[in-house]
Amino acid sequence: MKDNHKDVDLHHHSSSSSPTKQFPTASLLPPPSSLLMNKILRSPPSRSFLPLTQRPLNAHRLASKFIPIRSIMNSATGSYQTSFGASGNLGIAPKQMSQLPNLKLNDGNEIPILGYGLGTANFKSNSDGPVDKNIVETTVMAIKAGFHHLDGAQVYGNETEMGLAIKESSLPREKFFITTKITGTENVPTQAAFEDSLRKLQLDYVDLYLIHAPYFANSPADLQAKWADMEAIHATGKAKSIGVSNYLQKDIEAILSTAKIIPAINQIEYHPYLQHEDLVPYLHSHKIAVAAYAPLTAVTKAKPGPLDGIYDELARKYGVTPGEVALRWVIDQGMVALTTSGNEDRLRGYQKVAAFKLTPKEVQDIKEIGLQKHFRGFWQKRFDENDRS
């Protein structure tokens, strides 16, 4: 999704953008009465007007009340900078809603760093069955809550509902970033599956097309052939970017040996209890972006756990929920965070991740504590119990 944003500085406005307001001069104001002047002169100064040097200071309160938050969106690169005082080490408390950044992919396209997933609760067993109005309404609700990055898949069975929600939102197509995926457990014809997805979505193109998983393949040659199909679709312009999902390093290595196009992204289950310590650095070394699904696992499926305390502590510090801390942890590592909910308040709350930032130490603390527990929420049958790959 490309959106032409102008640079935004919340604390500076050009004087040429609007005429200077004229305020009354002192000579035009009526003089105060002598009674009022006597009252002012005799009254002790209010605590709120005491100089800062005469007031006891609380560092956290000072940080949240007096240090300005500045947000800058660069229209050329989609890069995003937040500053908190000079050092940037204190974290940023929610004060004013900012715009979340886009992540630039290796093909030059940009992906919004927070997305709404149409799997799990929105799953529909029969994609050719009657339209599920609940899925349409929930997706429209997510769009109205601010989610314009929608992540779908052929196997979710709800591409028709996803397309209807896009239409019902009345937003122009260019405001959306749409992802869908070809099934990764069956070796179905790629081009036919892609055209079927476009038909159900009622779209001329998707922003990102993924292979859902590598489990259709019986050999590296199967992986390579499927990726060649994806490259052919990309060449038509109907898939702006192409990538994979649930691929391990060995799967990526297989396709890179013959690929003309490097995958733009690998969408994987990622949270503090499943950090893929070898896979993620490998992806970064090849400039393959990471999208994290199930980022809230540590505060949902995997409770109780060693992270419960620090999530609660950081939620109190920043005035957010533990789930919002979990999302921010992913975003602060430069990864796309994908989440879902059928609760409108919760969806709007997730947008608050734009208004605060964890410190590097907090990100690292969550990483280290998360390693104390291993939990995989999806594809468990494909892995040994203690396999963290």
Q: Say whether 156 is catalytic.
A: yes
CATH number at residue 286: 3.20.20.100
Q: What's the start-to-end Cα distance of the chain, in Å?
A: 31
Has residue 22 been placed in a domain? no
Catalytic residue among 80, 116, 149, 156: 156
**Active-site residue (options: 116, 149, 209, 212):** 212
Mind listing the pLDDT tens digit for each residue in 252-304? 999 999 999 999 999 999 999 999 999 999 999 999 999 999 999 999 999 99
Outline where the chain has alpha helix (H). 34-42, 59-66, 133-144, 159-169, 190-201, 220-235, 249-256, 279-285, 308-318, 322-331, 344-350, 360-370
User: Quick check: is 349 in a domain?
Assistant: yes
Residue 336 lies in a domain: yes
Q: Is residue 234 flagged as an active site residue?
A: no
Q: Could you list the residue range(s) of the whole structural domain that residue 233 is in?
A: 109-373
- Tell me, what's the pLDDT at 91? 53
- Rounded to two decimals, the pTM is 0.75
Q: Across the strands, what pairs with 114?
A: 337
In-domain check, residue 241: yes
The number of distinct structural domains making up the chain is 1
Question: Does residue 26 lie within any of the structural domains?
Answer: no
190 lies in some domain: yes
Q: For residue range 48-86, what is the model confidence (pLDDT) as tens digits?
A: 333 333 333 333 333 333 333 233 333 333 333 332 222
Q: Span 307-313, mean pLDDT?
A: 98
Q: Give the pLDDT of residue 126.
A: 81
Answer yes or no: is 322 within a domain.
yes
Q: Cβ of 249: how many Cβ atoms within 10 Å?
A: 16
23: in domain: no
Task: Check pLDDT > 50 for residue 220.
Answer: yes
Distances (CA, A) of 76 to 3, 12, 34, 212: 10, 20, 60, 31
